[in-house]
Copies of this chain bind each other. A is one copy, B any other.
Amino acid sequence: NDTAPLFTEKELQTAAWIRDAARSDNLSYKILESLTTEVGPRMAGTPGDARAVAWAEAKFKELGFDKVWKEPVTYPSWTRGIEKAEIVAPFPQPLSITALGNSVATPKNGLRAELVEFANLKEMMAAPDEKVQGKIVFINHRMQNSNEYGLVVPGRSAGASEAARKGAVAIVIRSVGTDNHRFPHTGVMQYAPGVAQIPAAAMSNSDADMVARMIKRGKPVSLKLELSSAAAGTYTSYNVIGEMTGSELPNEYVLIGGHLDSWDLGTGAIDDGAGCAITMAAAEFIKRNGLKPKRSIRVVLFANEEQGLFGGKAYLAAHQNQIAQIQAAAEADLGQGPVTKMASFVRTEALPLVKQMHSVLAPLGIEPGDNNAFPGPDMGDLRMAGAASFGLALKADDYFDLHHTPDDTFDKIEPARINQAATTYAVFAWMAAQAPISFGSGQELLKAAKK
């Protein structure tokens, strides 16, 4: 196709310059240091949430973004409270557990019942009700590697209601995580409508191994569980947005970002302070170096991803008539990098441009992907509404060791890794902003998205 619009040689040179020059930049690392030190935990609806919003607004301004604003996001909030569990018989031992997000409380002073173990959610669902009735269900599903999140996570999100349907009094799961440390992994769960709501908690992999060893001895194993977690009313937080305004097509924009909220146990360094820092630094690098993108580059730090993608939904609601203005969307929410692959979701005419973008990025160790990209959790609904999307896949081999645990802290961040990711986002954002044609957001991609 020799008439396909392409990036000019000069544009390619500028993109290559960004790729090489940004590698020695340290801004993403510094932004993340600031967020984790000056804000720390920022679970949706807590005082840390409000502090994070204030931090983000101030940081965007400090970094010289042309426009900085907030858009409200309202959601039901939840508080953690007390969380304790101990095996009371036959071998008394305390466990390291944490409540799952949205879990109801146990009765005050806890509940006590026999454990019934299942290898995974499906096995529990196939069991006769009598086996579960009056018991605490223990889903002992080991997540072997980072590809198994989707496989294992239903035990966390849907396990409580499925157990309650069979008469269980509570559910405790092996943490959905790949580490071998004694940290429980929290994460959100949902109650199915019309089903009794039973308390739900996760224990560390170390504890799950131990409990399984006890159960293997063949005597009934009894657990005492005490949670005081509770729903806590409606809260309004904000998507915090910073924009570098385009010089030629200011109303079209490249959409990047991460989610600003974290779980409360750690300081949200990899989930998802890293995504916020990577994308803020990417946009700032372009501006600081005097490059003037044709289209705008918009960085959105989404509110409350963790408890139900509330920020992403609010963003779509507020901008649903402007999907065609989104040149390309790509969220960073899988840790500190590096980026290992670039997939796209663009109209056919734009594929030669994607190929050129990949050629610039390939020296960073980035493989080409397909044209069916998913842009990230908070932008998934935008894609469904027809937004052109990119999937800049972050290396996640250690991500599920840390995520949703107390161990998600800044000391785990390696400057070279996060900087490669920020560099990749800078090249991506610049090239998408400069592209000679639209990537196809709107009606054209809406059909493809619905397939």
Residues of A within 8 A of B (CB): 33, 36-41, 47, 51, 91-94, 96, 180-183, 205-207, 209-210, 213-214, 217, 266-267, 405-407, 409-412
Given contacts A37-B210, A214-B37, contact A411 B92 (CB under 8 A): no
Min Cβ gap A216→B in Å is 9
Min Cβ gap A209→B in Å is 5
Given contacts A96-B406, A406-B182, contact A267 B210 (CB under 8 A): yes
How many copies of this chain are found per oligomer?
A: 2
A91 and B38 contact, CB distance less than 8 A: yes
Min Cβ gap A178→B in Å is 13
Given contacts A41-B94, A92-B47, contact A213 B406 (CB under 8 A): no
Cα-based distance from A47 to B407 in the complex (angstroms): 30
Min Cβ gap A31→B in Å is 14
* Interface pairs (7), CB distance under 8 Å: A39-B91, A41-B93, A181-B407, A182-B406, A205-B411, A206-B407, A206-B410
Cα-based distance from A412 to B182 in the complex (angstroms): 10
A267 and B93 contact, CB distance less than 8 A: yes
B213 and A37 contact, CB distance less than 8 A: yes
Chain B residues whose CB sits within 8 angstroms of the CB of A41 once the complex forms: 93-94
B407 and A182 contact, CB distance less than 8 A: yes
A180 and B37 contact, CB distance less than 8 A: no
A412 and B180 contact, CB distance less than 8 A: yes
Cα-based distance from A41 to B181 in the complex (angstroms): 17
Chain B residues whose CB sits within 8 angstroms of the CB of A412 once the complex forms: 180
Min Cβ gap A91→B in Å is 5
Cα-based distance from A183 to B183 in the complex (angstroms): 9
What would 4 more interface pairs be, CB under 8 Å, given A47-B92, A206-B410?
Answer: A36-B210, A181-B407, A210-B411, A213-B410
Q: Which residue of B lies closest to A406 (CB)?
A: B182
Q: Which residue of B lies closest to A37 (CB)?
A: B213
Cα-based distance from A207 to B407 in the complex (angstroms): 10
Chain B residues whose CB sits within 8 angstroms of the CB of A209 once the complex forms: 409-411
A210 and B94 contact, CB distance less than 8 A: no
Cα-based distance from A311 to B256 in the complex (angstroms): 62
Q: Which residue of B lies closest to A409 (CB)?
A: B206
Chain B residues whose CB sits within 8 angstroms of the CB of A181 once the complex forms: 181, 183, 407
Chain B residues whose CB sits within 8 angstroms of the CB of A37 once the complex forms: 91, 210, 213-214, 217
Min Cβ gap A307→B in Å is 20
